[in-house]
Structure 1
């Protein structure tokens, strides 16, 4: 992965209290769409409006830290960012295909054609692209872009990947009751996505992996018959797929450094 040039600020230049306030604002802005829009008001339009509202909030938070909006979250539009996003998106889609194939072979999933025509498949893809992109970016800003900006020294060590994975799990406040296996699945997701920004110094790598997985999951649910036969084993397949992504990210990064 090509490292993207980013604007950096010495750790002492951003007051800790300001960092804490910015994180609180980002965290609340991210949780509101599901908490208020879906769980309290049961309104998909409110959920969508609040999710879109996250982005001007994130831009203002970036400005509050002294950056040009989204540059604060390592989202600068530097040369190569589109290729980085596309490559990681493709990797995640491929990993989802592997997961479905592996799960089908092991009897965890029952996968069959839904019989949809090419036009219906295309329409489903066009609908799913923005639908999965927006929440993926929002969560990556909260759990990875902010962490790297707030603790740049941590970002120089692989410990950042573990810390961002833990924050990613903690950010799923509505999933705490789903059990340890689900939390382990989220942690594995965080490892792959955290490695993306760690090695590239660009949030676009994490976004591509996160968005690609979410898109492939939603898309496959829409265009094929995909029944989960063994619910307790399904998360294990997803964990394996993300560990595979993690391995690819590490290997590519090391090969580019050699």
Structure 2
């Protein structure tokens, strides 16, 4: 029987650590708490009966690194595609673009600085739920995880509906990835890759909105919605093939 008091207390503990830096405008406070979140999550995972972070879907077994890499590429490509769509449809103008060398030089630090916030939020809004609520029906779990992902952006809840839409659709994509892979690695890769692309574009691109400032965010929603449909189709196709193989055997 689950100890719901312990489960809820653990979530509140992680939630506090994740959001505490928002009360300070300090790079070092943010860095310490984001890295500290991972340490606290490992400690909590041990208390709740797992090794390291395996209970939260981050087991270092199998080909986890390949799954993470695939996710990284999907996340990078998806966010980049949304920028290209915004420019191509004239929702934004590209005023300037840094050199390839600039992006290459910025990449190592960007990889490091985006990793800890990405894995922290994935554990908080998906991994923790995976560890304790994976017995729920998949659609219920995905919707719950997606809603929690949106609500975790508490400082953005009063923004335009386009922002909430893209957050919810991204939450669906990442939640679906957890369900079909039964781990957090693919979702982490996509989330991390998207964050890398976001930071690099902020540093290396100068974009100006040509009209509706929310149009580019709607493009991001469109991309994540499309990725979700593609993932569902791939999953259904593989499931159908597995069923046919079982029948033929």
The reply to whether TM is greater than 0.5 is: yes
- Is 1:173 the counterpart of 2:154? The answer is yes
Q: TM-score, normalising length from structure 2?
A: 0.90
User: Residue 5 of structure 2: which of 12, 17, 24 is its match?
Assistant: 17
Q: Is the CA contact 1:129–1:215 (under 8 Å) kept in the aligned structure 2?
A: yes
Corresponding residue of 1:135? 117
Alpha-carbon shift at residue 221 of structure 1 (Å): 2.1
**Partners of 1:248 and 1:78 in 2: how far apart?**
27
Partners of 2:117 and 2:162 in 1: CA distance: 23
- TM (normalized to structure 1)? 0.87
Q: Given that residues 38 and 116 in structure 2 are in contact (C-alpha distance below 8 angstroms), is that contact kept between their aligned partners in structure 1? A: no
SS in 2 for 1:29: helix
Give the Cα–Cα distance (whole angstroms) in 1 for the partners of residues 69 and 152 of structure 2. Answer: 26
Superposed CA RMSD in Å reads: 1.6
1:196 to 177, 182, 195: 177
User: Superposition pairs for residues 1-258 of structure 1, below 5 Å?
Assistant: 12=1, 14-34=2-22, 36-37=23-24, 42-111=25-94, 113-116=96-99, 118-154=100-136, 156-229=137-210, 230-257=212-239, 258=241
Q: Which moved more, 1:76-85 or 1:95-104?
A: 95-104
Contact 1:158 1:198 survives alignment (8 Å): no
Q: Distance in 1 between matches of 2:10 and 2:53?
A: 13
Are the counterparts in 1 of residues 162 and 221 from structure 2 also a CA contact under 8 Å?
Answer: no
- Tell me how far apart the structure 1 counterparts of residues 127 and 163 of structure 2 sit (CA, whole Å): 23
Distance in 2 of aligned mates of 1:90 and 1:201: 20
Gaps of 5+ in 1: 1-11
Q: Which runs of 5+ in 2 are unaligned?
A: 242-249
Q: CA deviation at 1:126?
A: 1.5
Give the Cα–Cα distance (whole angstroms) in 2 for the partners of residues 231 and 121 of structure 1.
25
* Residue correspondences, number: 239
SS in 1 for 2:50: coil
| Displacement of 1:254 | 3.0
Inter-partner Cα distance in structure 1 for 2:203 and 2:98? 11
